[in-house]
Chain A
């Protein structure tokens, strides 16, 4: 009995303490609590610079469907675009609260789109903001547009009314197809401080050229080149792919080669990688690039006059792969020309490569790298293979071309 009494005495004290604590917990409330239906989830962020050097921030925020809860609406989802201005990015977001009633959360953000004027002025503010702010991820892709970022966000593509999801899917595809470069804000931060300080990022635009296409859609192609954080030039899709061949990032795609009689064959790329060998002798830089690729034959178009029965003559494949080597070489050359002649920018990040492999020699030429780069000797060697011919073994048209 006494044992139980003593138990109770101790228990009462503990119970009292716990009650005091828990009541203070539940009654005071907690500032970090946010009910999910009262949050605005940002899916895309757009930054522009206006004429008076003030920053225009546009946000694409997910909207929940209305209360009628019909089947169609709940699946697609809708979005709204909000625009605000301010001296810095966070200041602009703060000004947004005058018009937007809900707190915003960046964790679902799919991309950051930067307008041309802002890119030319220097994108350091957005990179710093997106990495310092706890809510935003270091894996957010950064894109540049030729006009204003607001237009991209306000555009409603036919397949999905939320353009951020469209952009996200486009970026996912181009990661391996490499018609546009895909970089995240973390890569930007690393590149800005690296030895060559050149970064590239993809360009997204609204497709206005195709007049027959009544609904506007977005196009992601080509890349923009930045020195430190300022935009210095552009590359088109072919040059971008050439650059990615050298960096070894092309994993999928198609390549057109010509046969002996100028007929075109399309190849489907399965795999590729590249190895780089630098050397610095007497302040002269030599870089040897070896590109390896594998592909399948995807399409044989137009008339073929020669005998293209692959299964009986496998040597044809060797000939075709030499053509493939030439095609890849040409693309890579395009990129090198653009980098060395037009832009004088080390888009291939050879500076870092030299720092890693030959640190002592690099230290002596570090300061003049920008001037030395156009004269660097870059040799490209390609060895590629064609593995399969698909389901057909020989072309459908017969040998005489009928």
Chain B
């Protein structure tokens, strides 16, 4: 009998322990070495870049040494023409005094043009990668090496304020799509040699650069290693935005709760680094990721630290209360109106009855209908052209709401409840939390329509149990609230004055109990 049970359990175990199949078997890439003849190199590169009209290959003389030629290869759009002319071509065609030179060609090129040792390649594949990054590559006759010259300019958007994270006080810069600019913005904030930046290439087709950045004196080594492991194990075709990476490295990708924090502002990213978190910057995306993430982070905004602590604490309290209201208000209303009518004061009952007397739908379906209509309006409002937006909001709000009530489709208390729910949702600073709130709200609504306040309590217990069990990179998701920590609660829950904050522990210097020894993806 016990054998039978053991068999069942072990088969379940096997499903669980479907371990990280080693995805990063380094595929041995074919490495072709550079040939001495420029012609062969030229043909090889041309075959690689066939049908690319923006590939430019120019043969330039090697300083003024006769008989030596160089081949300069670059992609036209990625490097600025003026820079190539001024810096590379003119230098290569300049005169040098050869006579008492004891340097060979490689050293000559290196010292005259200031090329890094890491940018001297011995195989064609790496040279092609360098060309694709936008830097011109120089091949020299009779030399089996190629030289990459770092002339990369960052094109792209200007630095401006991100539209989704608006603050009234505080810095307003935002990240752009260029990796170097983003790294610069962070380096400007933290002038510390412990600020490490490690580069990875992710994506088989796109070969996107991904940089992780952390403060080595503060960040936990286990978490850093875990992040690096997960990045290396990503097996993906293309990476166009940081979200592609986030879904791969997140602990529970199917969970509705976001387990990786995102921001578009460098000051917030710098604050995360200083707390011991790890920032992941993806080339081509202005949104940087921060791991591990805690639930309370999604309720904080950077502005909390740019205004006085008393105002900031009040704002935080308002946000907590708004979160609770936006999740539970429709379900409490439904539970009161259908199950627990005794909780409604007598005078209010008369107005609720007269409002509901005209409505054909039962209360629960009325609220589901109104909340769905609101979500539709919200989604439509994102794409509405700005010229229409103003008129429709007035028309929609006043006329539609009022007309719907008069026509008897919905009742007035329901309109008030939905309006309150919607407004309180917008106090939450982080965009990631908006849709999880909608899911939870509907879940509570269904449960409370089924069993009243008792169902709502069971729903709250279920959701809180789920939240408490999630681990983000080994750190409990509800950290300062659930394993309750007063000293950290000062920073996360209310905002203590600045002079007190400096003395509190860094967030992630946790006791070992909280970070499990085995941090792996199905961590519980």
The answer to whether A and B touch in the complex, with CB atoms under 8 Å apart, is yes
> CB within 8 Å of B: which residues of A?
1-4, 6-11, 22, 25-26, 30, 32-37, 39, 41, 43, 62, 64-65, 67, 69, 74, 77, 105, 107-108, 135
Q: List 28 A-B contacts (CB under 8 A).
A: A2-B18, A3-B21, A4-B253, A6-B18, A7-B253, A9-B15, A10-B15, A11-B254, A22-B446, A25-B450, A30-B450, A33-B338, A33-B449, A35-B338, A35-B362, A36-B337, A36-B338, A36-B356, A41-B346, A41-B349, A62-B350, A64-B353, A64-B357, A74-B351, A77-B350, A108-B346, A108-B349, A135-B342
Cβ A35 vs Cβ B356 within 8 A:
yes
Q: Which residues of B contact A35 (CB under 8 A)?
A: 337-338, 356, 362-363
Tell me the number of A-to-B contacts counted with CB atoms below 8 Å: 76
Q: Which residues of B contact A22 (CB under 8 A)?
A: 446
Closest residue on chain B to residue A35 by CB atoms: B362
Min C-beta distance of A371 to chain B, whole Å: 46
A26's contact among B15, B338, B339, B446, by CB below 8 Å, is which? B446
A3's contact among B20, B337, B351, by CB below 8 Å, is which? B20
Cβ A30 vs Cβ B357 within 8 A:
no
Most central of B337, B352, B357, B358 by chain A CB within 10 Å: B357
Min C-beta distance of A376 to chain B, whole Å: 44
Most central of B352, B353, B446 by chain A CB within 10 Å: B353
Cβ-based interface call for B235 (8 A): yes
Q: Which residues of B contact A37 (CB under 8 A)?
A: 353, 356-357
Most central of A8, A35, A39 by chain B CB within 10 Å: A35
Kindly state the separation between the CA atoms of A400 and B451 in the bound complex, as whole angstroms.
Answer: 79
B15's contact among A1, A6, A77, A107, by CB below 8 Å, is which? A6
A64's contact among B339, B354, B452, by CB below 8 Å, is which? B354
A-contacting residues, B444-503, CB 8 Å:
446, 449-452
CB within 8 Å for A107 and B450 given contacts A4-B253, A11-B254, A37-B357: no
Min C-beta distance of B458 to chain A, whole Å: 12
A-contacting residues, B290-320, CB 8 Å:
none
Q: Which residues of B contact A33 (CB under 8 A)?
A: 338-339, 449
B341's contact among A9, A39, A43, A74, by CB below 8 Å, is which? A39
Min C-beta distance of A392 to chain B, whole Å: 40
Closest residue on chain A to residue B450 by CB atoms: A25
A-contacting residues, B334-385, CB 8 Å:
337-339, 341-342, 344, 346, 349-354, 356-358, 362-363
Closest residue on chain A to residue B357 by CB atoms: A37
Q: Which residues of A contact B15 (CB under 8 A)?
A: 6, 9-10
Cβ B354 vs Cβ A25 within 8 A:
no
Min C-beta distance of A43 to chain B, whole Å: 8
Q: A62-B350, A135-B342 are in contact. List 4 more A-B contacts (CB 8 A).
A: A26-B450, A30-B450, A37-B357, A41-B341
Cβ B354 vs Cβ A69 within 8 A:
yes
Q: Which residues of A contact B201 (CB under 8 A)?
A: none
Q: Interface readout for B14-41 with A: 1 if CB under 8 Å, 0 if not?
A: 0100101100000000000000000000
Cβ-based interface call for B172 (8 A): no
Kindly state the separation between the CA atoms of A33 and B364 in the bound complex, as whole angstroms.
Answer: 10
Kindly state the separation between the CA atoms of A240 and B349 in the bound complex, as whole angstroms.
Answer: 36
Kindly state the separation between the CA atoms of A10 and B339 in the bound complex, as whole angstroms.
Answer: 35
Closest residue on chain A to residue B356 by CB atoms: A37
Min C-beta distance of A223 to chain B, whole Å: 27
Q: Which residues of A contact B338 (CB under 8 A)?
A: 33-36
Cβ A34 vs Cβ B446 within 8 A:
no
Cβ-based interface call for B69 (8 A): no
Q: Interface readout for B224-253 with A: 1 if CB under 8 Å, 0 if not?
A: 000000000001000000000000000001
Min C-beta distance of B429 to chain A, whole Å: 30
Kindly state the separation between the CA atoms of A114 and B452 in the bound complex, as whole angstroms.
Answer: 35
Kindly state the separation between the CA atoms of A22 and B450 in the bound complex, as whole angstroms.
Answer: 10
Cβ A65 vs Cβ B354 within 8 A:
yes
Cβ B18 vs Cβ A3 within 8 A:
yes
Q: Which residues of B contact A43 (CB under 8 A)?
A: 346
Kindly state the separation between the CA atoms of A64 and B358 in the bound complex, as whole angstroms.
Answer: 11
Kindly state the separation between the CA atoms of A214 and B41 in the bound complex, as whole angstroms.
Answer: 117
Cβ B339 vs Cβ A32 within 8 A:
yes
Q: Which residues of B contact A7 (CB under 8 A)?
A: 253-254
Cβ B362 vs Cβ A64 within 8 A:
no
Cβ-based interface call for B91 (8 A): no
Cβ A34 vs Cβ B341 within 8 A:
yes
Kindly state the separation between the CA atoms of A107 and B351 in the bound complex, as whole angstroms.
Answer: 17
Top 3 nearest A-B pairs (CB, nearest first) are: A107-B342, A64-B353, A37-B356
Kindly state the separation between the CA atoms of A8 and B451 in the bound complex, as whole angstroms.
Answer: 30
Kindly state the separation between the CA atoms of A41 and B344 in the bound complex, as whole angstroms.
Answer: 12
Cβ-based interface call for B110 (8 A): no
Cβ-based interface call for B187 (8 A): no
Cβ B521 vs Cβ A36 within 8 A:
no
CB within 8 Å for A105 and B342 given contacts A7-B254, A22-B446, A26-B446: yes
Kindly state the separation between the CA atoms of A4 and B522 in the bound complex, as whole angstroms.
Answer: 11
Q: Which residues of B contact A25 (CB under 8 A)?
A: 446, 450
Most central of A3, A26, A77, A107 by chain B CB within 10 Å: A3
Q: Which residues of A contact B253 (CB under 8 A)?
A: 4, 7
Closest residue on chain A to residue B15 by CB atoms: A6
Min C-beta distance of A61 to chain B, whole Å: 12
Most central of A33, A41, A74, A77 by chain B CB within 10 Å: A33
Kindly state the separation between the CA atoms of A37 and B446 in the bound complex, as whole angstroms.
Answer: 20
Cβ B254 vs Cβ A30 within 8 A:
no
Kindly state the separation between the CA atoms of A11 and B346 in the bound complex, as whole angstroms.
Answer: 47
Kindly state the separation between the CA atoms of A39 and B521 in the bound complex, as whole angstroms.
Answer: 53
Min C-beta distance of B129 to chain A, whole Å: 26
Kindly state the separation between the CA atoms of A105 and B21 in the bound complex, as whole angstroms.
Answer: 63
Q: Which residues of A contact B346 (CB under 8 A)?
A: 41, 43, 108
Min C-beta distance of B361 to chain A, whole Å: 10
Q: Which residues of A contact B337 (CB under 8 A)?
A: 35-36
Kindly state the separation between the CA atoms of A297 and B267 in the bound complex, as whole angstroms.
Answer: 71
Min C-beta distance of A33 to chain B, whole Å: 5
Min C-beta distance of B191 to chain A, whole Å: 40
Q: Which residues of B contact A108 (CB under 8 A)?
A: 342, 346, 349
Kindly state the separation between the CA atoms of A34 and B20 in the bound complex, as whole angstroms.
Answer: 53
Kindly state the separation between the CA atoms of A135 and B343 in the bound complex, as whole angstroms.
Answer: 12
Min C-beta distance of A3 to chain B, whole Å: 6
Min C-beta distance of B524 to chain A, whole Å: 13
Kindly state the separation between the CA atoms of A105 and B349 in the bound complex, as whole angstroms.
Answer: 12
Kindly state the separation between the CA atoms of A36 and B451 in the bound complex, as whole angstroms.
Answer: 15
Kindly state the separation between the CA atoms of A62 and B354 in the bound complex, as whole angstroms.
Answer: 12
Kindly state the separation between the CA atoms of A22 and B449 in the bound complex, as whole angstroms.
Answer: 12
Closest residue on chain B to residue A7 by CB atoms: B254
Closest residue on chain A to residue B521 by CB atoms: A3
Cβ B235 vs Cβ A1 within 8 A:
yes
Most central of A36, A67, A74 by chain B CB within 10 Å: A36
Closest residue on chain A to residue B342 by CB atoms: A107
Closest residue on chain A to residue B347 by CB atoms: A77
Q: Which residues of B contact A2 (CB under 8 A)?
A: 18, 21
A36's contact among B254, B352, B446, by CB below 8 Å, is which? B352
Kindly state the separation between the CA atoms of A30 and B254 in the bound complex, as whole angstroms.
Answer: 32
Kindly state the separation between the CA atoms of A322 and B18 in the bound complex, as whole angstroms.
Answer: 94
Cβ B341 vs Cβ A64 within 8 A:
no
Q: Which residues of B contact A77 (CB under 8 A)?
A: 350
Q: Which residues of A contact B341 (CB under 8 A)?
A: 34, 36, 39, 41, 105, 107
